Amino acid sequence: MEQYFLVDTASGKRELLRPGKNVIGRSATVSAVDGVSFVSLESPSFTISRVQAIVEVASNGDAWISDCNSTNGTFLAISEGNGIRLDPHCFYQLKPGNRVILGDVEMRLETSACSTNEMGDQKGVMPSSALSSLNTSHPTNLSGAHSEILCASNDTRVATTANVTTTIEKPSDAVKSEANGAALQKSHECLSGKCSNDRVESTPHLEGSVVFGRKRIRSSSDITPPRGASKTVSSSFRVHWVCFSGMDGAEKADAQKLAKKLGWQTTDRIVDADILVVGSPVTRTPKFLIAVGRGIPVVTGNFLKDGDTAQLEKYVPALSHGSHTYSAASLRKVIFRECKTPILQGVSFQLGALPRKLRAVAREIILGCGGDIVRAQSTDALSLTEESLDSVYDSVLRGESL
């Protein structure tokens, strides 16, 4: 039986997956358990749970993954961009070349029989004869770190995404969903013994589909294809998770009701959202900055009244903040840019010179836009003052590289 490895896409470090259950977590100190192996991953931002996920290598050579109800979720993808968030305690089949995003760490599944060059050809595609008809779906999205979890990955998550179609068939839950480059089909019940039901009718799997990835701005060693030449939003764009910002309590409650009537779910985590709905007057909130920085569409409340996802661009608002003014046209250009890499990805910042009251918000925005925070001053890190921080925010909203 061939061996499976999880390979860190950033460092290249390989983790062997042994036959049986492999518990993946963050620096977990555990006693040996018969038939169970433990894989500890270093999580720079502490976004991996101590018990994050389980990868089971079956005796027939199949590999399966299940999220252990982790804090930030586990994501699975067969192509570039964000993955699909896995339902906790349900098992999904893995194939060589699949990418698994665990908190702020991105891993790729490889086997001893597959070279790195073969990964691009396999991409974990199941034979067409093994596919069932796709007729129902379940909303999911990545990001995440997202959220914060996907800030350092090719985002992600989450967000800011190319198209992914997820299909999870359930007896009583049929909600259409599309995200970035993969179709995820789930059986009416999950794998026997893995979910609440004991009967297996079909096998969860990933199917390859055409996807346009993204190009990183600053990393020449990790480049993915451009999303496409079109500047307009395709009619196939699907909204599943909606986030709100700049609204009072009553305005937000009304907006949430409209979103739910359209069949969408709401979230307070912008990196998990497919779209950000802002109140009136439009203000420069942290969520607004992160959405623009990650390429998440920002729209006014009128969008919820029309629900016209084919013409998102016409709902993008203008913004004024202090001496800065951003027209709707300029924001559209940044949000719907071809390169969906988080705009601060690859840039490090040092916050020691900032007033303490500004540090928490600055950290949230920088990480959300893909940047890194370092504690010690270095030649590679930008030391931020209150004035230079405003310049960083301005650069994000104008789509300018630092």
The full set of domains in the chain, from first to last, is 4-112+124-208 (2.60.200.20), 241-335 (3.40.50.10190), 348-398 (no CATH)
Which one, of 333, 340, 260, lies nearest residue 294 by Cα?
340
Residue 38 β-bridge partners: 23
* pLDDT tens column, 197-256: 433 333 344 443 333 333 344 443 343 334 333 334 444 457 789 999 999 888 999 999
pLDDT exceeds cutoff 90 at 396: yes
Q: In what order do the strands lie in the sheet with 99-102?
A: 14-17, 4-8, 105-111, 99-102, 74-77, 84-85
- Residues 1-5 have a mean pLDDT of 83
* pLDDT tens column, 251-299: 999 999 999 998 889 999 999 999 999 998 999 999 999 999 999 999 9
pLDDT at 10: 82
Region of poorest pLDDT, from 71-75, 110-114, 196-200: 196-200
pLDDT at 1: 64
Which one, of 48, 1, 4, lies nearest residue 26 by Cα?
48
Q: Counting Cβ atoms within 10 Å, is residue 104 exposed (0-12), middle (13-18) or buried (19+)?
A: buried
**pLDDT band of 380, cuts 50, 70, 90:** confident
**pLDDT band of 181, cuts 50, 70, 90:** very low
